[in-house]
Structure 1
């Protein structure tokens, strides 16, 4: 049985990761911003026989994430999935305007993963895996424009987590980022390539396999290395 953190577990791939880990017999601690508005997650928790509990955690708040970590009654954590994210403005932001969307993207998708990792670091040890969700849009191979806040946050996440991976390698902790695929979620839409079930299933295999000598790398959901 593994102890699993899913940050951003109320819907989409995060919800499916929580569901699949529960079905596999693991103990899941599901972190969500608002437990009272967490979709199917409370029902999954109530039917899990205590294998899944829901914890309030706003990844934009140091104190909220720290409180969530204190509420997790596990001595050690095997997997930390950091899924929470937003799309933000799609169009190019070339004209003067407010920075609210940009700031929100940085808080949630760049600072947020580091907040989660720092809060749970005392519960991580040799063999623990920390996997943050990035995107193909973060890579230099992405051929389109736009999405300025999103691509800035995700690209920064990739490089930041590579630095974190270097700093934690001597402790045997694997850190990496993934592109979860073009998935049929609220973000990807109904015409996306794969289902949340398919993405989560392959991500779990990748997480289980991910060796220490590949820490800091960026992978696709199906286990293929992703070009930067």
Structure 2
């Protein structure tokens, strides 16, 4: 049984990751900005025979992150998924960039994962893993324009976590970056390519097989290495 912490667990890929880890008997700490409004997550907790607990955490707020991590207790953390994210305004034009929205994307998807990692790091040991949900939009191979704040945030996440991977390698803590696919979530929309179940299954299997020699790498949910 692994101890698993998941941010953004109220919906989408993170909710499905929580469901799958509970199904395989793991202890799951589900972290959500609005636990009271996370009906599906609370229902999963009620049916989990104590394997899943729900904890409040706003990844943009340092005090909330520290309090949320403390609320999960003192057990070692074997696997942390940084999933919480926002899309911003994908159709925004260059001349109408919303700077407040841009700043929010950086807070959620760059600073947020680092805040969460630092809050749980004292409970990690050799073999612990930090899996970060990135995006194909972070790569230089993305062939379209737009997505200014989202793309910048995910690219920043990749570069930042590659640095973290270097700094934590001697401790044996493994860091990964994963493009989860184009997923049928609130963010991806109903017309996206794959289901949350398919995405989470791939992400989970990747995480389970990730080794220290690949720390800092960027992979797709299907196991393929992703070009930067």
Q: Tell me if TM exceeds 0.5.
A: yes
Query: Could you tell which deviates more after superposition, 91-100 or 139-148?
Result: 91-100
Q: How does 1:58-137 map to 2 (within 5 A)?
A: 58-95=58-95, 98-137=98-137
Is residue 92–residue 145 contact of structure 1 (8 Å, CA) maintained in 2? no
Give the superposed CA RMSD: 1.0
Please state whether the residue corresponding to 2:39 is helix, strand or coil: coil
The alignment of Structure 1 onto Structure 2 pairs a total of residues equal to: 228
Q: How does 1:139-218 map to 2 (within 5 A)?
A: 139-218=139-218
Please state whether the residue corresponding to 2:181 is helix, strand or coil: coil
- Alpha-carbon separation, structure 2, partners of 1:25 and 1:176: 23
- 1:53 shift after superposition: 0.2
Quick one: structure 1 residues 97 and 22, their matched pair in 2 at CA, closer, same or farther if it must change by over 3 Å? closer
- Alpha-carbon separation, structure 2, partners of 1:90 and 1:8: 20
Normalised by the length of structure 2, the TM-score is 0.98
Is residue 94–residue 146 contact of structure 2 (8 Å, CA) maintained in 1? no
Runs of 4+ that moved beyond 2 A: 91-98
Give per-residue Cα distances to partners, 1:188-211, cap 9 Å, x unaligned.
111211111111111111001000
- Alpha-carbon separation, structure 2, partners of 1:225 and 1:108: 25
Normalised by the length of structure 1, the TM-score is 0.98
Query: Could you tell which deviates more after superposition, 194-203 or 160-169?
Result: 194-203
Q: Which residues of structure 2 form unaligned runs of 5+?
A: none
Please state whether the residue corresponding to 1:95 is helix, strand or coil: helix
- Alpha-carbon separation, structure 2, partners of 1:6 and 1:95: 36
- Alpha-carbon separation, structure 2, partners of 1:202 and 1:154: 20
- 1:30 shift after superposition: 0.1
- Alpha-carbon separation, structure 2, partners of 1:149 and 1:165: 24
- 1:89 shift after superposition: 1.6
- Alpha-carbon separation, structure 2, partners of 1:48 and 1:92: 41
